[in-house]
Amino acid sequence: MKKRDFIKNLGAFGLLPFTGNSPLNNEDLLGNHSYTNGNSEEDFWSLIRNQYKLHPDFINLESGYYNIIPEPTLKKYLKHLKRVNLEGSYYMRQHRFIDKDNITEELASFVGCNSKNLIITRNTTESLDLVISGFAWNKGDEAIYAVQDYGSMQDMFEQIEKRHNVTLRKVSVPNHPKNDEELIELYESQITKKTKLIMVSHMINITGHILPVKKICEMAHKHGVKVLVDGAHCIGHFDFKIEDLGCDYYGSSLHKWLATPLGAGLLYVKSEHIPKIWPLLADHEKDPTKIKRLSHTGTHPVHTDLAILDAIEYLNWIGIKKKENRLRYLKTYWQQALKDFPNIVINTSFDSHRSCGIGNVGIRSINPEILAKRLYDEFQIFTVAIDYANVKGCRITPNVFTSIKELDSFITAMKTLAIA
């Protein structure tokens, strides 16, 4: 099929038409890929795979740390880098802040909130630590989070425990909950009159567990408790709008599933809380109602921010719902193939709405560290070992470039190791 015919056929995949204004032109998207096998779903995803430069020596099933970026976005990113290097201080003085405002507008529209509630940060850690450390704590206040939450945030809570005499209450989230109510009651059971803040993971990183955040926010607000959501893995992974969750604060990393270059994140803060948070780095903006007072960074790689628009454009081209369905399909593919195999333990719920692309699986007789090592050494499959809280296994994170053939290799490897 000629490239021109293929472009006509993109409609069959429900893709957006290319426009003259698109930062990604047809050549960027299609490259030299020859497309000859008709319009099946797998053909579409092999086109996407061809837009990535993948390491030839191993199968990457660890997209949970960060997402490598596709060639069209990489090309644009390098252009931004060259432009900033050419214009130097002129760019920084004349364009940097205007560009950042425009990017924030676009990003707000993409993630489903008002731009007056959103700032671009460098990552989730910065976003969430800004809230945890900048919260107006008083001696004796209490905070709740889960032992499955990300370590750096737990470290920051431990710091405010020492610094402000805040009491920390921890829950342990079951890997296979019966229903949402079980999870809501778990958090509610730790609320006292002194509770000020709950941190909840939108998706637990070690299992891929998607928590019923909206319901947890409704429950917490009835008790006058604020909710900080760790959405590190959610923006660009599945389809939702931040404002629909009803949370007070939401942090995410854009270099994960939005596939921006490394070093981009976001923080959403509900309007009424903006004046109450102390910034991590003080800004010239003194109006307490303006979220910009929270977004000071000093000089940093601004070309990363510029590439956020290109990453949004690329994802819109695929379609977030289409990506969500694909990631859930890939996780379900290996999960179903392994679930009844002797000696294998699946640590991620089988309810489709409780997970998406990330899953966790272990082998009873093999310690996770050894399992990850053997998968890599013997089968050239890269994953990450998880061995804490109630999770013993390897986190398996395919991506839009992952092929079914690669998952078949993973399934064979797991079965071989499980019966050895």
Footprint of ligand PLP (CB under 6 A): 123-125, 150, 201, 205, 230, 232-233, 253
Nearest 5°: phi and psi at 46? Answer: -75, -25
Taking the least distance from each CB to ligand PLP, the nearer of 110 and 150 is: 150
Shortest distance, position 14 Cβ to ligand PLP, whole Å: 30
Residue 128: CB minimum distance to ligand PLP, A: 7
Burial of 27 (0-12, 13-18, 19+ CB in 10 A): exposed
Please spell the DSSP secondary structure of 146-167, one letter per residue: ETTS-HHHHHHHHHHHHHH--E
Query: What string of H, E and C letters represents the secondary structure of 185-234?
Result: HHHHCCCCCCEEEEEEECECCCCCCECCHHHHHHHHHHCCCEEEEECCCC
Report the nearest approach of ligand PLP to the CB of residue 250 (Å).
Answer: 12
Q: Tell me phi and psi for residue 311, to 5 degrees.
A: -65, -40
Distance of CA 260 to the CA centre of its chain: 11
135 or 150: CB nearest ligand PLP: 150
Residue 204: CB minimum distance to ligand PLP, A: 7
Token pair recorded at residue 350: 């089988």
User: Cβ of residue 127: shortest distance to ligand PLP, in angstroms?
Assistant: 8
Q: Which is nearer to ligand PLP, 363 or 393 (CB)?
A: 393
State the minimum distance, in angstroms, from the CB of residue 286 to ligand PLP.
28
Residue 124 C-beta-side C-alpha neighbours within 13 Å? 27
- Using DSSP, state whether 135 is helix, strand or coil: coil
Closest separation in Å from C-beta 241 to ligand PLP: 20
The alpha carbon of residue 333 and the mean position of all alpha carbons in its chain are separated, in whole angstroms, by 21
Residue 44 or 249 having the CB closest to ligand PLP: 249
Task: Identify which of residues 297 and 409 has a Cβ nearer to ligand PLP in the complex.
Answer: 297
Neighbour tally for 408: CB within 10 Å: 13
Closer residue to ligand PLP in complex, CB, 397/402: 397
Q: How far is the CB of 129 from ligand PLP (least distance, A)?
A: 9
- Identify whether the C-beta of residue 64 lies closer than 8 Å to the C-beta of residue 358: yes
- For ligand PLP, the closer CB: 56 or 151: 151
Residue 82 tokens read as 């060259």
Instruction: Compute the least distance from the CB of residue 173 to ligand PLP, in Å.
Output: 12
End-to-end CA distance of the chain: 46
Measured from the CB of residue 17, what is the shortest distance to ligand PLP in angstroms?
33
Cβ closest to ligand PLP, residue 51 vs residue 125: 125
Kindly report the number of other CB atoms within 10 A of residue 284's CB atom: 7
Question: What's the rounded Cα separation, in Å, for the pair 240 and 321?
Answer: 9
In whole angstroms, the minimum distance from the beta carbon of 343 to ligand PLP comes to: 28
Q: Which is nearer to ligand PLP, 24 or 263 (CB)?
A: 263
Please state, in angstroms and rounded to a whole number, the distance separating the CA atoms of residues 197 and 135.
9
Closer Cβ to ligand PLP, 232 or 320, answer by number = 232
Dist CA 324 CA 58 (whole Å): 24
CB atoms within 10 A of CB 390: 13
What the block records as the tokens of 202 is 């939108």
Cα gap 360→346, rounded to integer Å: 6
Nearest residue (CB) to ligand PLP, 228 versus 306? 228
Nearest in space to 194 (alpha carbons), one of 170, 227, 167, 215: 167
What is the spatial distance between Cα 419 and Cα 125, in angstroms, rounded to a whole number? 40
